[in-house]
């Protein structure tokens, strides 16, 4: 299940990706108001995304947040990992934070590990291949056709 932090972070970067064509920095208060996100929580989320290289910020007049890369170069998986860490449902199948399970007797024959690796691979395959631009296209087409999947 997605945490509130990841949900709010995704909503914020999707909002910024809408504003990308205007090449304008967006104020935290504007994002918070438009996306119904608590401002203080959003501040910490955006700061974390900035530290991870997903966002840029500018202070002063005309300041605010922008995407660090084009919307077609930022994936949903990148945002989720930046905010919530590895996608793996259990640590023994994580590619970036592997840790053997304490109770595991035979890791290579563990049924739970085998299934959870498939889950991790399927999630990664989708989330690492869907960009913010892809989501924006799906939103634009949402009125024309029923949604095939959502995030």
Q: Splitting the chain (151 residues) into consecutive groups of 10 residues, what average pLDDT does each group show?
A: 94 90 82 96 97 92 90 96 90 86 84 90 96 93 63 57
Question: Cβ distance 75 to 127 under 8 Å?
Answer: yes
* The pLDDT value given to residue 146: 58
Which helix (H) or strand (E) segment holds residue 65: the answer is: strand 64-67
The pair of structure tokens assigned to 140 is 């634009």
* The pLDDT value given to residue 24: 78
Per-domain residue ranges of the chain: 4-67, 75-130
**Percent helix, percent strand, percent coil in the chain, to nearest 5:** 55, 5, 35
* The pLDDT value given to residue 109: 87
**Strand blocks (E) in the chain:** 55-58, 64-67
User: What is the C-alpha to C-alpha distance for residues 151 and 9, in angstroms, rounded to an integer?
Assistant: 12
Question: Cβ distance 7 to 79 under 8 Å?
Answer: no
* The pLDDT value given to residue 94: 85
* The pLDDT value given to residue 55: 95
* The pLDDT value given to residue 100: 85
Looking at the domain 4-67, which fold is it? Arc Repressor Mutant, subunit A (1.10.10)
* The pLDDT value given to residue 21: 58
pTM of the model: 0.84
* The pLDDT value given to residue 27: 93
* The pLDDT value given to residue 148: 58
User: What is the C-alpha to C-alpha distance for residues 22 and 88, in angstroms, rounded to an integer?
Assistant: 36
* The pLDDT value given to residue 143: 66
């Amino acid at each position: 299940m997605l945490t509130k932090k990841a949900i709010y972070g995704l909503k914020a970067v999707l909002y910024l990706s809408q504003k990308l064509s205007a090449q304008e920095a967006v104020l935290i208060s504007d994002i918070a108001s438009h996306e119904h996100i608590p401002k203080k929580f959003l501040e910490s989320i955006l700061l974390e995304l900035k530290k991870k290289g997903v966002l840029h910020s500018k202070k002063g007049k005309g300041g605010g947040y922008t995407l660090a890369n084009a919307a077609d170069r930022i994936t949903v998986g990148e945002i989720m990992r930046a905010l919530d860490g590895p996608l793996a449902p259990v640590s023994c199948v994580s590619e970036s934070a592997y840790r053997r399970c304490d109770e595991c007797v035979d890791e290579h024959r563990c049924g739970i590990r085998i299934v959870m690796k498939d889950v991790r691979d399927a999630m990664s395959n989708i989330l690492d291949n869907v960009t913010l631009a892809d989501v924006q296209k799906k939103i634009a087409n949402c009125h024309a056709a029923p949604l095939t999947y959502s995030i």
